[in-house]
């Protein structure tokens, strides 16, 4: 069965598109049957491609995210996805407020899936420079690896 995973940050133009891409690559690498998407808690960037610095950071790591488009998370996402993964604690708090009662979707922070980094945020690189986006890529890759491995283990 395909496990459906949604990554959520604030704008859906920096961190969550990178997490979506890193997770997709990792799932493919380990043979996990998964579908990934991303969304923002805010709607300012709806319909826009990822930030050009995020596109560049992904490209430096061999991944093209230029075709992604931002959207806002909805209450319906809690029915459509098995796992909803927040990039920082503010995103997580917003998702907990939005979550419909009785929703079965599992909520977590991305770095909860990395031993020793539980509870940590993937820092917002929006006001930073290119090097911040490389840190973001490394963080989301680490989180995506841990999450994919855990899901593969749960599936086996
Ligand atoms: P993201 O970064 O949440 O990682 O996509 C941001 C993008 C846009 C804004 C803030 C953070 N903004 O304020 O417009």
Confidence category of residue 154, pLDDT binned at 50, 70, 90 = low
Q: How far is the CA of 152 from the centre of ligand 1 (A)?
A: 31
Ligand 1 atom closest to the CA of 136, numbered from 1: 4
The neighbouring-strand residues paired with 72 are: 40
In the predicted structure, residue 156 carries a pLDDT above the cut 90: no
pLDDT given at position 38? 99
Nearest 5°: phi and psi at 143? -65, -45
Nearest protein CA to atom 9 of ligand 1, as residue: 11
15 part of the active site: yes
Q: Which CATH number fits domain 3-155: 3.40.640.10, 3.20.20.70, 1.10.20.10, 3.40.50.2300?
A: 3.40.50.2300
Domain ranges of the chain: 3-155
Task: Reduce the secondary structure of 1-68 to three states and give it as a string.
Answer: CCEEEEEEECCCCCHHHHHHHHHHHHHHHHCCCEEEEEEECCCCCCCCCCCHHHHHHHHHCCCCCCCC
pLDDT given at position 122? 98
In the predicted structure, residue 116 carries a pLDDT above the cut 90: yes
Name the residue of 42, 52, 71 to mutate for ligand 1: max ligand atoms within 8 A of Cβ: 42
Q: Which residues contact 93 (CB under 8 A, 6 or more apart)?
A: none
117-151 per-position pLDDT tens digit: 999 999 999 999 999 999 999 999 999 999 999 99
The pTM for the full model equals 0.97
Ligand 1 atom closest to the CA of 15, numbered from 1: 4
Active site residue: 51, 77, 88, 124, which one?
Answer: 124
63-114 per-position pLDDT tens digit: 999 999 999 999 999 999 999 999 999 999 999 999 999 999 999 999 999 9
Q: How far is the CA of 119 from the centre of ligand 1 (A)?
A: 20
Confidence category of residue 43, pLDDT binned at 50, 70, 90 = very high
pLDDT given at position 155? 53
Q: How far is the CA of 13 from the centre of ligand 1 (A)?
A: 6
């Amino acid at each position: 069965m395909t496990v459906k995973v949604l990554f959520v940050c604030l704008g859906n133009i920096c961190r969550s598109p990178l997490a979506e891409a890193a997770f997709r690559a990792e799932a493919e690498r380990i043979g996990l049957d998964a579908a990934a998407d991303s969304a923002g808690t805010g709607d300012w960037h709806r319909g826009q491609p990822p930030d050009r610095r995020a596109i560049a950071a992904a490209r430096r790591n061999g991944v093209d995210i230029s075709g992604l488009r931002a959207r806002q998370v909805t209450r319906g996402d809690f029915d459509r996805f098995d796992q909803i993964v927040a990039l920082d604690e503010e995103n997580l708090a917003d998702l907990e407020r939005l979550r419909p009662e009785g929703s079965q979707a599992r909520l977590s922070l991305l770095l909860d899936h990395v031993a020793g980094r539980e509870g940590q945020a993937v820092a917002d690189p929006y006001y930073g420079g290119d090097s911040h986006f490389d840190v973001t890529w490394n963080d989301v890759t680490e989180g995506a690896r841990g999450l994919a491995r855990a899901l593969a283990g749960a599936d086996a």
